[in-house]
Chains A and B, each alone.
Chain A
Amino acid sequence: MKAGLKVCGMRDLMNIQAVTALHPAYIGFIFYPGSARYIGSVDPELLSSIPATIKTTGVFVNETLEEVKRLIALYELKAVQLHGAESPEYCAALQPYTEVIKAFGVNYSFDFESLIAYEKVTSYFLFDTLTVNHGGSGKRFDWSLLKQYRLNQPYFLSGGIGPDDVNELASIDDKRLHFIDVNSRFEISPGLKDIELLSTFFTLWNAAPAAKNYNDMNYFVNEKGYYGDFGGAYIPEMLYPNVEELRQHYLEIINAPEFQQEFRALLKDYVGRPSPLYLAKRLSEKYNANIFLKREDLNHTGAHKINNTIGQILLAEKLGKKRIIAETGAGQHGVATATVCALRGLECVVYMGEIDIQRQAPNVARMKMLGAKVVSAVSGSKTLKDATNEAMRDWINNPIDTHYIIGSVVGPHPYPDMVALFQSVISEETKKQLLEQTGNDQPDYVLACVGGGSNAMGMFYHFVNDKDVKLIAVEAAGKGVHSGHSAATTALGKEGVLHGSRSILMQTDDGQVIEPYSISAGLDYPGIGPQHAHLFKTTRAEYVSVSDEESLDAGLLLTQLEGIIPAIESAHALAYLEKMEFTGKENVVVCLSGRGDKDMETYMKHFGF
């Protein structure tokens, strides 16, 4: 989990409301008359309108205990932040009334050992730049001094944090850093926050990759490109320069403010994000739980795939690439790629298995209309795996000007991490929406279908470190897990290397890849992304499967209960609800990864409409 944000030092009503709308974890008000941001006497009503999920905090400097207690009661302060020479006994006296944060000004002669006496009588420490005015200088202290801090008490980092500090903050690998406090560097004038600047900072911070080692178990990629035993870049030398170029630059490019601004703007205005989180009432009644559908089906082009292609096309442009290639199974990723190529005027070649070309004809027509060249992959099983092989061969043969937009969290490092980052917007939004709709940003269950695993990884991303949230990944069992016609990778697979990364894949004892089967072209893949392999092996997520039949029935059920025709891929996730048991209280989020237009022929054939 990443550190939360605190905004401090507002006075003006409208300004307070605007900051509240950004939903920081803490909002601080300065009750120290010596400060340029002193709040003075405000109407208690004003603070009471701030939702309970944001902690209102009073900032004091050497105030009398009586006055602090009076103000805690008057303003119903959830926390106090003490910036003076308050003693441990002083902190202890306030603890029964509110959360106590003790602030310390840090410089080179600061003695971190002196904090021991405060550990038990406070909830957090706050490290700020040492100034005579008790903070507010707009200057940072030398963060490397924090290496001397050895206690377990979590802390706030404060002092001169500015709009450009996101990357540096995200790279702080310290699980005790719980909150980041921003103030003077986001102001138009003392006490008046620049909302636009703050809002950009919040967006960038939320999108930045989670600090790597927050938990003992790290579920995210390490600097060598591995997730536990899985990942890496098993590629022939011909691909090395391309993949290495990406590896060196992807984070820097993606985290740059102008990239994020463009990416976010396209997601909003072109894709139509945020996608709704819809409480499906009739479905909820049927299953006796609160079922929320994350509506990726409402995205432009009809699936989650476009989140990734928007990100990658912007990245390809930054890398100066002129030609885009992609593989596709259901055609959704192919359409999403052809779409962004049309949008940005880049040449586009999509590889698609011969069998998939037949069963996803409408998407083939869409790609062609969008100006893409669709190349039929005729080797092997003539489905997604072979389309991926062909795309990799194309890339080998065009090493300079071509970018390969992989459509799932598979491939050599950094693809799995990069695609997951672009898709993580799904869970980023879901958390906010859950908080608004249920008052809790953590549901009991999160479900998603898994082909290569991109919608699932996007749906899991911001929940992975929330230990109480159960993650369920649904694979395609085809005609039955052991029928010989299945794509249930974790049930049938073993560890090995496929398409450039070490993961779990369906293979013979001799290491030959087994051709998978599923009625759903998007799930018809013999592997899963390396991060999924890691979540599976560490049992952080549960991997289950449902059959063709069960998923088609679930698709029909959703259609008739809620008026939503889902993609057959997404219907796999829905089908698993049938096998779960609920008590009526659980909040369950299902990723509705795509809509069913492309699957009408299959539905019609099966149900005889």
Chain B
Amino acid sequence: MNRINQLFEKKKNNVLSIYYTAGYPGLGDTVSIAEALEKSGADMLEIGFPYSDPVADGPVIQASSKLALDSGMTLDLLFKQLKELRNKVTVPVLLMGYVNPVLQYGVENFCKACAEAGVDGCIVPDLPMYEYEELYQDVFLKYDICNVFLVTPQTSEERIRKIDGLSKGFIYLLSSSATTGQNLQVSDTTSAYFSRIKAMELKNPTMIGFGISSKETFDKACQYANGGIIGTAFVKSLQSPNPAEGVSSFMEEFTGTVLSQS
């Protein structure tokens, strides 16, 4: 069974997933950050493969992507690092990025490389559902790679049902329609949106992301979903050199919460 499905089978609440950009702040930091995250209690890792034109990202992740690219990060290099990573880390790993590098790599090659490197899933925000279903789903299934779709407050119920049907792994709930790095405003409307999704009783687990930066917002996310994803706030905290050293102090705030409640 895929590590993502295993995770949600044994842990239904307060799942903590951390996003960071591969090759940032240093080209070789991908593995050590993963190790430090697992040690500090991260349940899942989302590793960004950088792209020159990340339209869904705010300034922090844009800057980290640019730096990683400038330092020489490529998909080939990343897959090498991921093989090493998989020898040291057991939590599920997803790759997150944009569709063009995947197309150039070849979707089949990409999924195969993921499987060989122990990657469990992908989040490719600009890969549309239609193209996924028509052209790529079979390949993803063949290599047992979970493709994770996003849902926003504007996504219709009908479409959410369709996404639920196509998803394996979990569904990524965006706190609002926004680029990464905005602060989660837990207003009445977001609460209503999260409650609406919860009431749909989807077959897939849900994770809330975009804008979670504090214990308070993480707790809020966990009220409505199986867990939360922290991205920009973590990337911002990474210091060069030796970024792994700061990981445990960043994570304390969140894992403290997790441990006390589980």
Residues of A within 8 A of B (CB): 224, 232-238, 240-241, 379-380, 385-386, 389, 392-393, 396-397, 399-400, 494-500, 505, 507, 509-513
Q: Are B128 and A389 in contact (CB under 8 A)?
A: no
Q: Which of B102, B125, B154, B156 contacts A399 (CB 8 A)?
A: B154
Q: Are A379 and B62 in contact (CB under 8 A)?
A: yes
Query: Closest residue of chain B to A398, judged by CB?
Result: B177
Contacts A234-B99, A510-B104; A498 near B179 (Cβ below 8 A)? no
B155 interfacial contact with A, CB 8 Å:
yes
19 more CB-based (< 8 A) A-B contacts, given A234-B131, A236-B126: A234-B127, A238-B56, A238-B150, A241-B154, A380-B52, A393-B58, A400-B154, A497-B100, A499-B53, A507-B100, A510-B101, A510-B105, A511-B75, A511-B103, A511-B104, A512-B51, A512-B52, A512-B69, A512-B101
Q: Which of A241, A389, A399 contacts B53 (CB 8 A)?
A: A389
Residues of A within 8 A of B149 (CB): 237
A442-B217 Cα distance, complex, nearest whole Å = 65
Which residues between 22 and 75 of chain B lie within 8 Å of chain A, taking CB atoms? Answer: 51-58, 62, 66, 69, 74-75
Residues of B within 8 A of A389 (CB): 53-55
Residues of B within 8 A of A507 (CB): 100, 104
A511-B76 Cα distance, complex, nearest whole Å = 12
Query: Closest residue of chain B to A235, judged by CB?
Result: B126
B257 interfacial contact with A, CB 8 Å:
no
Contacts A237-B150, A397-B182; A500 near B126 (Cβ below 8 A)? yes
Q: Are A235 and B128 in contact (CB under 8 A)?
A: yes
B91 interfacial contact with A, CB 8 Å:
no
A512-B99 Cα distance, complex, nearest whole Å = 11
Interchain Cβ contacts under 8 Å between A and B, 18 examples = A235-B128, A236-B56, A237-B151, A238-B177, A385-B53, A389-B53, A389-B55, A396-B55, A396-B56, A397-B178, A399-B154, A399-B177, A511-B51, A511-B101, A511-B102, A511-B105, A513-B52, A513-B100
List the 8 closest A-B pairs by CB distance, nearest first. Answer: A511-B104, A511-B101, A236-B125, A237-B150, A241-B154, A399-B177, A512-B52, A392-B55
A87-B155 Cα distance, complex, nearest whole Å = 63
What is the distance, in angstroms, from B100's C-beta to the closest C-beta of chain A?
Answer: 5
Q: Are B179 and A397 in contact (CB under 8 A)?
A: yes
What is the distance, in angstroms, from A323's C-beta to the closest C-beta of chain B?
Answer: 15
Residues of A within 8 A of B95 (CB): none
Residues of B within 8 A of A380 (CB): 52-53, 66
B204 interfacial contact with A, CB 8 Å:
no
Residues of A within 8 A of B56 (CB): 236, 238, 393, 396
B174 interfacial contact with A, CB 8 Å:
yes
Q: Which of B58, B103, B150 contacts A496 (CB 8 A)?
A: B103
Contacts A496-B104, A497-B126, A510-B104; A238 near B52 (Cβ below 8 A)? no
Query: Closest residue of chain B to A237, judged by CB?
Result: B150
A496-B99 Cα distance, complex, nearest whole Å = 9
Residues of B within 8 A of A385 (CB): 53
Residues of A within 8 A of B76 (CB): 510
Contacts A393-B179, A399-B177, A511-B103; A236 near B55 (Cβ below 8 A)? yes
Residues of B within 8 A of A505 (CB): 100
Q: Are B51 and A237 in contact (CB under 8 A)?
A: no
Residues of A within 8 A of B75 (CB): 510-511
A233-B127 Cα distance, complex, nearest whole Å = 9
Residues of B within 8 A of A509 (CB): 104
A386-B130 Cα distance, complex, nearest whole Å = 27
B152 interfacial contact with A, CB 8 Å:
yes
A392-B66 Cα distance, complex, nearest whole Å = 18
Residues of B within 8 A of A399 (CB): 152, 154, 177
Residues of A within 8 A of B101 (CB): 510-512
What is the distance, in angstroms, from A378's C-beta to the closest C-beta of chain B?
Answer: 10
Residues of B within 8 A of A233 (CB): 128
What is the distance, in angstroms, from B103's C-beta to the closest C-beta of chain A?
Answer: 6
Q: Are A498 and B53 in contact (CB under 8 A)?
A: yes
What is the distance, in angstroms, from A235's C-beta to the closest C-beta of chain B?
Answer: 6
Query: Closest residue of chain B to A242, judged by CB?
Result: B154
Q: Are A510 and B74 in contact (CB under 8 A)?
A: yes
| Interface-central residue, A224, A393, A510, by most chain B CB under 10 Å | A510
Residues of A within 8 A of B55 (CB): 236, 389, 392-393, 396, 499
A496-B52 Cα distance, complex, nearest whole Å = 13
